[in-house]
A and B are shown apart, each in its own frame.
Chain A
Amino acid sequence: MIAGLMERLRALLFPRRWSSDLDEEMREHLGRETARRIREGLDPEAARREAALAFGGVEKWKEAARDESGARLMGDVSADLRFAVRSLGRNPGFTAAAVGVLAVAIGASTAAFTVVNAVLLRALPYEHPERLVRLFEQNSPTNRWNISTADVQGIRERQRSFDAWGGVSVTEAALSGEGAPEQIVMTRIGAGVFDALGVSAEAGRAVTTADEPAGAPPVVLLSHALATRRFGSPLAALGRSVALDGVTRSVVGVLPTGALDLGGRPAEAWIPLQLAPATRRGPFWMGGIGRLKPGVDLAAARRDLAAVSEGMSGLYADWHDNTARLTPYPLRQTIVGSAEGRLDLFAGAVLLVLLVAIANVATLMLVRASARRPEIAMRITLGATRIRLARLVIAESTVLMAVTVLIAAPLAALGLRFLGSVAPGLPRSAEISLGWESWLFLAAVALSSGALVSLSPVAAVLSSPGRSGMTDTRRAGTTRRAQAVRGTLVAAEFALALPLLLGASLLLNSFLRLTRVDPGFDPSTSLGITIALPSGRYGEVPARQEFFRRALAQARQVPGVLAAGLATEMPPDAGGNDNNFNLVDHPVPAGQSEPTSPWSYVSDGYFEALSIPLVEGRFFTPMDSSAGPPVAVVSLSWQAKYFPGEHALGHELIEGGCYTCPHTTIVGVVGDVKFQGLAGGGDGVYVPLSQSGARTVHLFVKTAAAPAGFVKPMTDALHGLDPDLPLAGEAMSDHLKDALADPGRWTAVLIAFGAAALVLAVMGVFGLLSYVVRQQRREIGVRLALGADPGRVARMVVWRGMRTAGIGIAAGLLLSVMETKWLGSLLYDVTAHDPLTVAVATLVLLAAAVVACLLPGLKAARIRPIEAIAAE
């Protein structure tokens, strides 16, 4: 069998060699036969004749042998392909356009598929991913938050749903010891999380329950990258020690890259989660992760955890919310949830561009097929079968698609890198790479687009009228059906382009509104520097307070500094540091959740540094300390929400559910500042920094000149107090730009897609009309010669194109309705069917279509009758 295959391949791959071998063999044969007959007594001439007679027709047998060799079919195919290459080469413009359009579209869709597959489709890279859940406290469908030490105790005592579970909390820590000090992301993690996820160390061991009691030897696990960076290799790191926030810990294990990312910030060090016995119900500072026992579903786990929550009611004096329940959510959903909407939108946009591209290339192919009708008719007359001609068309598409794939593959890799920079914070980004699934996808898309674009030309060949097509060459390609197909394809391009344009316009509209949002502070005159105090030297609260006092004094001495203040939160994305409170005058009904609001601990000088206006009352002063009576400043929006129609000034509130603490008095009302993103509300409560034990704070400074120039002097001034401090500073205007960068990038991507679709659709209608005008040149010439008004001729052509575009745009409007669901969550201050935006997008597309139709229209009007008729 193998031998037979080799034989066939030889005949196929080296057809000339095969043929000359056969010639030689037959010549040899005839020679021997002639010689035999001469030996039998015939004269050479007669011997040769009789030998030839006995052999039969050399050419006939050779052909028969070729048929039997199995090379015939394959040989035809390779001839077809060679013909296709030549014929594509004769039309470099067409070939380049078709290959370019399809390669970009297919490359982009492969990149999009790769991301969507890695992030959304593939299971989480852990054991039993379907059984993994994340635990939250929740008191309404929209309000869920982290779990507390008390929750961990409650779960430990009562849960029956989990095989393994544990708490995890991501923070930052100052890493010192050997090498330069640096600020790294550190995770406190329970041993149960390793069991639940089935993650083990690549060197050494994971965290175990033996590490969890207070007083256990201090240990740490490092990331592969950190171990390599500090110690050369994971194995070399084992047994060494590092200081984290001033605590010396010995390295007992190294985790493989990406093993515990969980969609959050990738950590570089993990320390055991050690919990002191809970004395109150809050604070809620940990993520909970668990693996359900086999056979336990989410609903059962929810009931089980609800029972755990009910069992805890009344245990803690600080907690009055009887509606909060521990609730499990599928881990996958909590990891990819935020990215899902954007990726769906992105993948949808890419798909639309791909479809537009296919429609576009299909029209190109069809126009080409029509232009070749005389040639096809000639071939049919000369005896070529239609099937054979259809095969030529397919061969052409095959060659076209092969070249396209060769270009699309590197484009996909390029697109993936581009996507990495467009969406830097994508969850599971470590898992994104071009794997076999991507290549399979590319092959499938290329195959189906190849089939789609060759559909219409193949049909055109099969339905070709044959002889009549040759005699009537000028009218070639204008059969009704071919025209209808072309018109439909062009209309489809418009229909697909509109949702893209509309999406781009909506995102742009939303983005522009976002850039005009007042963040509530003056970004042009302020800068912010983040100070993370290591817990070693600043382990005690008084030491931190002392440092803050000196830092403020130091900052205010820098020349050009007009005001300086500290705060725990950096607007506009504070990361959701909310606190619950109750109003003494308007308490929430018993058993209901207390309201929450963004909560900032700020020093004196803070409002002045950020130019936040005072509306009523006063700012904080150095006298507002933990020693004095508790005070708070609230924002205008907060006042409007909780004291509608009243003044909040002088009213009292209860902070964080502490009913035994003295009440907090509102001493000031200030302008709104965005803490929940630029698209968020303006709620805010400020309390004095001295009440906080925070170690990470932001120093804000109002400067007399451009703030960027003050980053260096301010950093130097702070390093004068403590040279080892990790500091990060930038002008607030730059910080604001960062906050806008993400929506800006997505907007740019969609605009690029929308523009591509617009160009393709316009190219489509332009190509269609140019072709029609060229085909009907004679007819138009005759009309003009008979006195037709050139303006009317132009209008006729334009009207014809606009009718096609108009039908497409109308269909596109229907298509756009489906888009609403994807876009809604990404838009700010504009709805997905904002009438003005819809009108603008539609008009842009119509205007582009008019321009595209006008050129062929004018060309038709300028046709000179004599030349057009004489050209026949």
Chain B
Amino acid sequence: MPDRDLLQGTLDLMVLKALSLEPMHSWGIGQRIDQFSRDVFSVQQGSLYPALQRMLRKGWIRSEWRMSEHHRRARFYHITRTGRAELKERAAGWARASAAVASILRLRTVP
């Protein structure tokens, strides 16, 4: 399922990007992704959880339970150094790929 892999990779990238700005809980991550993609890129919010577990396992992010702004226990995620490196690499890869795709698409428009 190339679609799913692409989706997963994109989701990881967006989660890392969101967490690179500030530590946040899972709902906040979902809100931030909606904001980023201006609702273009819409996934079920529950799909964040497998992604978060995967990234925890890979050591890109860490989590801890903290008191939230409403004085309730909430799980906060933050990005680790390896996570930042991963984000940088993926972002660069993504930029290269989209630039290439864009240039190909431009070629097509030339008669």
Closest Cβ of chain B to A680, distance in Å, is 75
- Please determine whether A7 and B72 come into contact, CB atoms closer than 8 angstroms: no
- Please determine whether A28 and B74 come into contact, CB atoms closer than 8 angstroms: yes
Closest Cβ of chain A to B111, distance in Å, is 45
- Please determine whether A55 and B56 come into contact, CB atoms closer than 8 angstroms: no
The answer for the CA separation of A571 and B80 in the assembled complex, in Å, is 84
Whether B45 sits at the interface, judged by CB under 8 Å, is yes
Kindly list chain B residues whose C-beta atoms are within 8 Å of the C-beta of A69: 53, 56-57
Q: A25-B75, A28-B25, A29-B26 are in contact. Are A61 and B46 (CB under 8 A)?
A: yes
Whether A640 sits at the interface, judged by CB under 8 Å, is no
Chain B contacts with A in 6-42, Cβ cutoff 8 A: 25-27, 30-31
- The one of A4, A32, A66, A70 in contact with B27, judged by C-beta atoms closer than 8 angstroms, is A32
Chain B contacts with A in 56-73, Cβ cutoff 8 A: 56-59, 62-63, 65, 72-73
Chain A contacts with B in 1-23, Cβ cutoff 8 A: 1-5, 7-8, 21-22
The answer for the CA separation of A707 and B44 in the assembled complex, in Å, is 101
- Please determine whether B62 and A68 come into contact, CB atoms closer than 8 angstroms: no
Kindly list chain B residues whose C-beta atoms are within 8 Å of the C-beta of A871: none
Q: A1-B82, A57-B46 are in contact. Are A8 and B27 (CB under 8 A)?
A: no
Closest Cβ of chain A to B96, distance in Å, is 27
The interface bits of chain A over 51-76 (1 if a CB of B lies within 8 angstroms of the residue's CB, else 0) are 00011111011101111111000000
Kindly list chain B residues whose C-beta atoms are within 8 Å of the C-beta of A2: 59
Closest Cβ of chain B to A107, distance in Å, is 41
The answer for the CA separation of A54 and B74 in the assembled complex, in Å, is 20
Q: A28-B25, A68-B53 are in contact. Are A1 and B46 (CB under 8 A)?
A: no
Kindly list chain B residues whose C-beta atoms are within 8 Å of the C-beta of A56: 44-47
The answer for the CA separation of A1 and B80 in the assembled complex, in Å, is 10
- Please determine whether B49 and A65 come into contact, CB atoms closer than 8 angstroms: yes
Whether B2 sits at the interface, judged by CB under 8 Å, is no
- The one of B46, B50, B63, B80 in contact with A68, judged by C-beta atoms closer than 8 angstroms, is B50
Q: A3-B80, A69-B56 are in contact. Are A26 and B44 (CB under 8 A)?
A: no
Whether B87 sits at the interface, judged by CB under 8 Å, is no
Kindly list chain A residues whose C-beta atoms are within 8 Å of the C-beta of B75: 21, 24-25, 28
The interface bits of chain A over 247-271 (1 if a CB of B lies within 8 angstroms of the residue's CB, else 0) are 0000000000000000000000000
The answer for the CA separation of A32 and B73 in the assembled complex, in Å, is 13
- The one of A1, A7, A28, A33 in contact with B45, judged by C-beta atoms closer than 8 angstroms, is A33
- Please determine whether B27 and A33 come into contact, CB atoms closer than 8 angstroms: yes
Closest Cβ of chain A to B27, distance in Å, is 4
Kindly list chain A residues whose C-beta atoms are within 8 Å of the C-beta of B31: 36
CB closest residue in chain B, given A69: B53
- How big is chain A's contact interface, by range? 20 to 34
Kindly list chain A residues whose C-beta atoms are within 8 Å of the C-beta of B30: 29, 33
Closest Cβ of chain A to B95, distance in Å, is 27
CB closest residue in chain A, given B73: A24
The answer for the CA separation of A770 and B63 in the assembled complex, in Å, is 60
Chain A contacts with B in 38-60, Cβ cutoff 8 A: 54-58, 60
CB closest residue in chain A, given B28: A32
Kindly list chain A residues whose C-beta atoms are within 8 Å of the C-beta of B59: 1-5, 7
CB closest residue in chain A, given B49: A65
Kindly list chain A residues whose C-beta atoms are within 8 Å of the C-beta of B72: 28
- Please determine whether A68 and B26 come into contact, CB atoms closer than 8 angstroms: no
Interface of chain B: mostly helix, strand, loop or mixed? helix
The answer for the CA separation of A667 and B47 in the assembled complex, in Å, is 112
Kindly list chain A residues whose C-beta atoms are within 8 Å of the C-beta of B56: 3-4, 7, 69
Q: A21-B75, A22-B49, A64-B50 are in contact. Are A29 and B57 (CB under 8 A)?
A: no
Q: A21-B75, A56-B44 are in contact. Are A61 and B50 (CB under 8 A)?
A: yes
The answer for the CA separation of A24 and B58 in the assembled complex, in Å, is 23
Closest Cβ of chain B to A47, distance in Å, is 14
Closest Cβ of chain B to A62, distance in Å, is 7
- The one of B27, B58, B73, B82 in contact with A29, judged by C-beta atoms closer than 8 angstroms, is B27
- Please determine whether A62 and B58 come into contact, CB atoms closer than 8 angstroms: no
CB closest residue in chain A, given B53: A68
Q: A3-B59, A7-B57, A56-B44 are in contact. Are A62 and B27 (CB under 8 A)?
A: no
Kindly list chain A residues whose C-beta atoms are within 8 Å of the C-beta of B74: 25, 28
Chain B contacts with A in 72-99, Cβ cutoff 8 A: 72-75, 80, 82
- Please determine whether B44 and A25 come into contact, CB atoms closer than 8 angstroms: no
The answer for the CA separation of A67 and B51 in the assembled complex, in Å, is 11
Closest Cβ of chain A to B34, distance in Å, is 10
Q: A54-B44, A69-B57 are in contact. Are A62 and B49 (CB under 8 A)?
A: yes
- Please determine whether A61 and B82 come into contact, CB atoms closer than 8 angstroms: no
Q: A7-B56, A68-B53 are in contact. Are A58 and B46 (CB under 8 A)?
A: yes
The answer for the CA separation of A470 and B58 in the assembled complex, in Å, is 45
The answer for the CA separation of A55 and B49 in the assembled complex, in Å, is 10
* Best-buried of A7, A29, A55 by chain B (most CB within 10 Å): A29
The answer for the CA separation of A62 and B49 in the assembled complex, in Å, is 7
The answer for the CA separation of A56 and B44 in the assembled complex, in Å, is 6
Kindly list chain A residues whose C-beta atoms are within 8 Å of the C-beta of B57: 4, 7-8, 68-70
Closest Cβ of chain A to B103, distance in Å, is 36
- Please determine whether A3 and B62 come into contact, CB atoms closer than 8 angstroms: yes
* Best-buried of B25, B27, B65, B82 by chain A (most CB within 10 Å): B27
- Please determine whether B27 and A54 come into contact, CB atoms closer than 8 angstroms: no
Can you name 17 extra interface pairs (CB under 8 A) apart from A3-B59, A4-B57, A68-B53? A1-B59, A4-B59, A5-B59, A7-B63, A8-B57, A25-B49, A26-B49, A28-B25, A32-B27, A55-B44, A61-B44, A61-B46, A61-B49, A67-B50, A68-B57, A69-B57, A70-B57
The 3 closest A-B pairs by CB, nearest first: A61-B46, A4-B59, A56-B44
19 A-B pairs whose Cβ atoms sit less than 8 Å apart in the complex: A1-B59, A4-B58, A5-B59, A8-B57, A24-B73, A25-B49, A25-B74, A29-B25, A54-B45, A55-B44, A56-B47, A61-B46, A61-B49, A65-B50, A65-B52, A65-B53, A68-B53, A68-B57, A69-B56
